[in-house]
Amino acid sequence: MSNLYDRHSVAVIGGGPAGLMAAEALVQHGVQVDVYDAMPSVGRKFLMAGKGGMNITHSEPLDRFVARYGKRSAQIAPLVDRFGPDALRAWASALGVDTFVGSSGRVFPTDMKAAPLLRAWLHRLRESGVRFHMRHKWVGWDAAGDRARHALRLSTPAGVQVLHADAVILALGGGSWPRLGSDASWVPLLTGRDVPVAPLVASNCGFDADWSEAFRERFAGQPVKAVAITVNDGDNQVQHRQGEFVITTTGIEGGLVYALSAAIRERMQADGAAVIRLDLAPGLSTQRVIDEVVRPRGSRSMSSHLQSRIGIAGVKLGLLHECLSKKDYFDIERVAYAIKALPLRLVRARPIEEAISSAGGVPFEALNAQLMLRELPGVFCAGEMLDWDAPTGGYLLTGCFASGLAAGLGALNYLASIGR
């Protein structure tokens, strides 16, 4: 017996978490779903993200979780309300993948790997009837298409082919890690159809600083632990986080930097550069640092004095040398204040190709509540190609899963409305 949807076909362009989740939502209702991806296999960036431990979501309270999406929290909130951290863990469990909460609140599969989860998911999708087409890259619209039934041109090993579908879900990623498929080649295809696209920029990325050669040679690769960073974002709102980061040959990177990358990027956009403040002794009050540093040091060197009084040594001492003038370094009160608020000037973000993720993309204002493009009825967008930003910690993946589900359910509603 036929149902409302089994006469319809939907093309999902992009085989990452957002596209696969959209496909799952559709196929469960009898829709014929075809997934097209430019790469030889799906989920390549998903697998890469799991190399160091597959962090799929976060366990913090939902209001704090949603706040991590910053200026797009209001748009992400209804998506996460429908498919948030608890739902994501239950979904993984149904695939036979148990999860646990780490000490930081991050959620991981018990084996810490992405591959078993992806294999189980793909098996279920194929068993449900989803068809996969690898090395099929979307390269444009075809004149044979209309607003009732879409025609898309795909570059395939057999040449350019045209597919027709009742609805299309675009889940093509952003601009980071292009070698894994997220190459942003979709941008002109949408802007050519009057769909606005905010410029793609690096997010969860490192930043360059103008290190001296001596500092670079001595400290590149070393972690800076037990440190805090303060930065004013583009709206002059103070952002402050504690954690650790790594000195690189060009600047800084690591978890603490990634968590503040949106604020740092906005400051750069406003001023051309960003000055962040490093608290090298976050466990001590400013007054305690002053009291300890101004104690007489006798014949000891400044370096020995700082190490013995408050534990400033190694790379932290190197940062003081690097960021302060020689005169200020030997001004005991200036050093004390600098330990709690050392200015470090960052001059540029690392290239988007190196970034963990990208910000920018299709703005929510160009979409309806079901993630359908206002300019292209029947075409939906999901995942990292949307204009949102989030730090690492499971927020990126949860946003992709949740938006993919929303786009899939939106496409179902659209198919019901066209009714043929």
Q: Model confidence over 92-136: pLDDT tens digits?
A: 999 999 999 998 899 999 999 999 999 999 999 999 999 999 999
Q: What is the pLDDT of residue 302?
A: 85
Last residue of a domain, one of 305, 327, 349: 349
Last residue of a domain, one of 302, 332, 349: 349
Residues 167 and 141 in one domain: yes
pLDDT above 60: residue 146: no
Residues 197 and 97 in one domain: yes
- The two three-digit tokens of residue 105, written as one number: 């609140």
Residues 31 and 145 in one domain: yes
* Residue 404 is assigned to a structural domain of this protein: yes
Residues 225 and 120 in one domain: no
Residues 150 and 234 in one domain: no
Q: Average pLDDT of 73-82? A: 97
* Residue 300 is assigned to a structural domain of this protein: yes
pLDDT above 70: residue 9: yes
Bridge-based pairing of strands 106-109 and 9-13 is unpaired
* Residue 87 is assigned to a structural domain of this protein: yes
Report pLDDT digits (tens) over 285-294: 999 999 998 8
Residues 73 and 188 in one domain: yes
The boundaries of the domain holding residue 331 are: 207-349
* Residue 283 is assigned to a structural domain of this protein: yes
With tokens 């370094």, the residue in question is 329
Residues 17 and 36 in one domain: yes
* 319-327: Cβ within 8 A, 24+ apart: 319/224, 319/278, 319/280, 319/344, 320/280, 321/215, 322/211, 322/212, 322/215, 323/278
**What CATH number does the domain containing 147 carry?**
3.50.50.60
Instruction: Give the amino acid at 3.
Output: N
Residues 223 and 165 in one domain: no
Q: Average pLDDT of 284-309? A: 89
Report pLDDT digits (tens) over 162-205: 999 999 999 999 999 898 889 999 999 999 999 999 999 999 99
Residues 39 and 188 in one domain: yes
Cβ pair 336, 362 in contact under 8 A: no
How many distinct structural domains can be found in the chain? 2
Which of 83-87, 195-199, 237-241, 318-322 is predicted least confidently?
237-241
Contact partners, residue 46, CB within 8 Å, separation at least 6: 16, 17, 114, 118, 397
Last residue of a domain, one of 323, 349, 375: 349
Cβ pair 399, 82 in contact under 8 A: no
* Residue 3 is assigned to a structural domain of this protein: no
Q: What is the pLDDT of residue 2?
A: 47
Residues 118 and 235 in one domain: no
> What is the spatial distance between Cα 33 and Cα 8, in angstroms, rounded to a whole number?
9
Better-predicted residue by pLDDT, 419 or 376: 376
* Residue 4 is assigned to a structural domain of this protein: no
Residues 127 and 66 in one domain: yes
* Residue 1 is assigned to a structural domain of this protein: no
Residues 363 and 345 in one domain: no
Q: Average pLDDT of 13-34? A: 96
Instruction: Give the amino acid at 385.
Output: M
Better-predicted residue by pLDDT, 148 or 22: 22
Report pLDDT digits (tens) over 350-378: 999 999 999 999 999 999 999 999 999 99
